């Protein structure tokens, strides 16, 4: 669910992303505060885990899954090529 990296090319995209992150964090903190009486030592991570299991998910078709995997492979290949180009230029 969580992405390790987030890249944006424009400042407004970064602001939109940060606004959504802050809203999500606010929601989780409010839920933690509301649930602390009933669930001692409730953590935000506990809430995220619960939401991952309780919220409905749309099932992917085989074609959608293949598209996701192919896109990831494409992006990995492009990243490797970019790294190789940068390494070659740095080595000259």
59-90 per-position pLDDT tens digit: 999 999 999 999 999 999 999 999 998 888 87
Q: Which of 49, 80, 6, 61 is nearest to 69 (CA)?
A: 61
Residue 75 vs residues 3, 47, 82: alpha-carbon distances, Å: 15, 32, 10
Span between the terminal Cα atoms of the chain, in Å = 40
pLDDT score for 59: 92
1-28 per-position pLDDT tens digit: 455 566 677 888 888 989 999 999 999 9
What is the residue extent of each domain of the chain? 1-57, 60-92
Task: Report H helices in the chain.
Answer: 11-35, 44-54, 62-91
């Amino acid at each position: 669910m969580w992405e390790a990296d987030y890249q944006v090319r424009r400042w407004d995209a970064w602001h939109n992303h940060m606004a959504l992150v802050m809203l999500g964090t606010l929601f989780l903190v409010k839920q933690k505060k509301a649930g602390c009486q009933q669930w001692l030592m409730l953590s935000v991570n506990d809430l995220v885990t619960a939401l991952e299991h309780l919220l409905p998910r749309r099932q992917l078709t085989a074609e959608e899954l293949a598209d996701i995997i192919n896109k990831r492979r494409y992006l990995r290949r492009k990243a490797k090529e970019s790294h190789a180009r940068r390494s070659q230029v740095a080595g000259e």
